[in-house]
Structure 1
């Protein structure tokens, strides 16, 4: 493998497009057609191998998603392939399974991309070009948030700033639209934790990286699979996967609470000495509520980490593949 500074370009890679799918019946046929056009154009220009393919990973869909994947495979078994989970295991596991499958099929590189076509398919060619220039990982980074609500825009920026403050390597405005070389995927395969957060793991792999900026569009059809509750859960996964700072904050909060109690004690002594003491109901209730809330929050943070340890200790498989095309 060469570096990005090499004058000789890499050979045209055997490319796998990894597309995680969960109840994507309304859009998957259109996604397949768009990707076929993109890959065919790259094959015709000699930028990727003619054996390149699209790998759909069905994350336990309850609609006709897998049936459509089977139909696509029947029409063009070389171009369209599929993996079907026996049960819904989440977006990150679906992406990971597709990347590992690409590695097992001797692909030179794989691009993960959501099925809703919000990520710009025209960026695929630029990602391949960057790979051929020598980069092992190419991140797709959106350059606009025109279609986001003000709330989503604010929470996204806050999340990336929080992750940076906690010392986690993340790429702002990058989701899971990225190219990874065979070398990078092989390194990723050595990460065995159940608590997968690829947006943090992949940047931490090292290697030579690049960014491709693109304009993110609107969802072509169907509904978003990331409502607020799932976004919060995903954020918690990222925080607990890469940082123990929340546990440090619990300790700091304990010291602050102790100092607050000392200050309250001094206030009470002074009030009694000056004859201004009242029943103290207000200060007592404030202290009780404050300490009670602090204890519950602390227990909740610690519980989140213990829960992750519990899941890791069981060492259960991340997913089970029911069918493979």
Structure 2
């Protein structure tokens, strides 16, 4: 099959990235120019910056860049919806043969974009950017990340270890992804479900070029819970197993208590009774919390609300207001 030179959209979610934006703009437009000059992508390729309700002047910088360069387009969401929704907004509005998603902090190696295009030309519909080491992370983050990937694998979530949201999607894969309509989006787990031919490119992650991380511990934990509860029901099955085991232990304990009663060996056991009450109460509250999380997601999904609203588009012929 003859390979057609593809058009490329680089989708970049932005939230309060006023400090990092100039570096990101310069780096990605240089990548586009280089790939176009090499004949690897078409000259109608562009960078699509998605402003996720920033409170600083990120959107003003995007608008200014779009007026100066045909390589730049912008999408402004009506309010902050979170990284995953902002990324979906950008991907669903990219009208190209190939999309590459990358964060504005440029911790991901932009030189890998050319490698991704090369892999696409070899017939791969999905190309994951995967870190070959985590040396730039703190010991705490490195340990918790490894534990997280191990936990997700045990729970049955199929995702690529050490891969975040730096990836290439061909048009076929992107069309399939846009058919997922759920509100609770965890792209790292959804993409492998598409099943198209995929491969990895490896790189070392750098320090953030400017600004502060938008993923503190609280948001990382929230993202992990989103991934678990959106893609697997294993926690519910674990609750059922805990219930079965507890019933078995309780049955054995009840038989033992009856035997002791018949033998007249019973004594007052306030401590053991209180321990049992607290233990079972804790198990019940934890179980209700997990079940409640799933019920909450069902409630939100049943409303079928739009995931985002676009306030403004700029660049090329897409400018609206």
Tell me which residue corresponds to 1:14: 7
Report Cα offsets for 1:127-178 as digits up to 9, x if no partner: 0110111111100000010111222112211221222222221000000000
Residue 85 of structure 2 is matched in structure 1 by 93
Most deviating of 216-225 and 13-22: 216-225
CA deviations 1:264-283 (Å, max 9, x no partner) are: 33443455566653321111
Residues 225-257 of structure 1 deviation map (CA, whole Å, 9 limit, x = unaligned): 111111111111111111111111111111111
Q: How does 1:1-325 map to 2 (within 5 A)?
A: 8=2, 10-76=3-69, 78-102=70-94, 105=95, 107-269=96-258, 271-272=260-261, 277-325=266-314
Counterparts of 1:156 and 1:17 in 2: how far apart (Å)?
Answer: 26
Note the C-alpha offset of 1:11: 2.3
Q: Distance in 2 between matches of 1:150 and 1:275?
A: 57
In structure 2, the residue corresponding to 1:114 is in which secondary structure? coil
Structure 1 alignment gaps of length 5 or more: 3-7
Q: Distance in 1 between matches of 2:245 and 2:274?
A: 18
Secondary structure, counterpart of 1:139 in structure 2: strand
- Mapped to 2, the partners of 1:203 and 1:139 lie a distance apart of 10
TM superposition score normalised by structure 1: 0.93
In the alignment, the residues of structure 1 paired with residue 267 and residue 15 of structure 2 have an alpha-carbon distance, to the nearest angstrom, of: 62
Instruction: Name structure 2 gaps, 5 residues minimum.
Output: 315-321
Task: Give, in whole Å, the separation in 2 of the partners of 1:224 and 1:276.
Answer: 63
How far does residue 263 in structure 1 lie from its aligned partner after superposition? 3.2
